């Protein structure tokens, strides 16, 4: 999806949300009408029809909300990288496995197994008590080696003592398919749109409330090396 098409989708989503607000107002008015009815009316035919209208409006609200979410990329699309289709259940800390599966197009199980195989070669010590796990977390040194074999390279965006220079938003990152490293998370961005099971931009900083978009700092990103020839 190019930027122009994404903008059209987002604009249509806003129109649907505006319609949803109108339906919600109508539903609230109908609910107030029902609540202020005498009890004898509520239990009669008039009350039943009013309740049916309220139920229909509630269903319409759910449908409009779903339609708006489907159209409005908002810079984010839900994508589990094929985890559920591969038969995995429940929630876990598999962001690396998921991001690589999404970015490379490889089957989730293939990436899962490959990372666990590489983890067997890791050494533990005082500062590294456990080896990587595709399910609960993979060290960057390990998944970096895997990505290198697939032709992906690391591009740092922040150096020691330099401070934050790039944030997790499309305007500050290249187009195409990249895997972006932020604190405790790896996510995939495709043409400016994040593909993940949640929007990693929606982390509330100290001066914001939960759900607001934050200026989350990017340490670097992986991109596919261009093949010269």
d(CA 166, CA 175): 14
- What pLDDT, in 10s, does the model give residues 120-177? 998 887 777 789 999 999 999 999 999 999 999 999 998 877 788 898 888 789 989 9
pLDDT at 205: 47
d(CA 157, CA 162): 10
pLDDT bin (cut points 50, 70, 90) of residue 221 is very high
Angle of the 108-119 helix axis to the 95-104 helix axis, nearest 10:
130
With a cut of 80, say whether residue 210 has pLDDT above it: no
With a cut of 70, say whether residue 228 has pLDDT above it: no
pLDDT bin (cut points 50, 70, 90) of residue 72 is low
First to last CA, the chain: 28
Long-range contacts of 112-115 (CB under 8 A, 24+ apart): 112/86, 114/146, 115/142, 115/143, 115/146
């Amino acid at each position: 999806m190019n930027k122009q098409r994404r903008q059209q989708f987002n604009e249509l989503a806003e129109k649907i949300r505006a319609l949803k607000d109108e339906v919600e107002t109508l539903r609230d008015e109908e609910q107030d009408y029902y609540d202020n009815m005498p009890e004898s009316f509520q239990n009669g035919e008039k009350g039943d029809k009013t309740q049916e209208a309220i139920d229909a409006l509630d269903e319409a609200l759910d449908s409009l909300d779903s339609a708006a979410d489907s159209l409005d990329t908002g810079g984010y699309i839900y994508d589990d990288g094929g985890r559920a289709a591969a038969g995995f259940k429940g929630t876990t800390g598999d962001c690396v496995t998921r991001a690589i599966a999404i970015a490379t197009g490889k089957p989730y199980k293939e990436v899962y197994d490959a990372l666990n195989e590489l983890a067997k070669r890791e050494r533990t010590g005082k500062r590294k008590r456990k080896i990587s796990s595709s399910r609960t977390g993979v060290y960057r040194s390990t998944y970096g080696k895997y990505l290198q074999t697939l032709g992906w390279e690391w591009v740092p965006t922040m150096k020691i003592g330099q401070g934050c220079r790039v944030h997790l938003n499309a305007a500050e990152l290249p187009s195409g398919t990249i895997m972006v490293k932020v604190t405790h998370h790896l996510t995939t961005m495709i043409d400016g749109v994040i593909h993940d099971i949640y929007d990693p931009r929606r982390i509330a900083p100290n001066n914001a409330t939960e759900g607001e978009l934050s200026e989350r700092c990017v340490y670097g990103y992986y991109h596919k090396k261009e093949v010269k020839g």
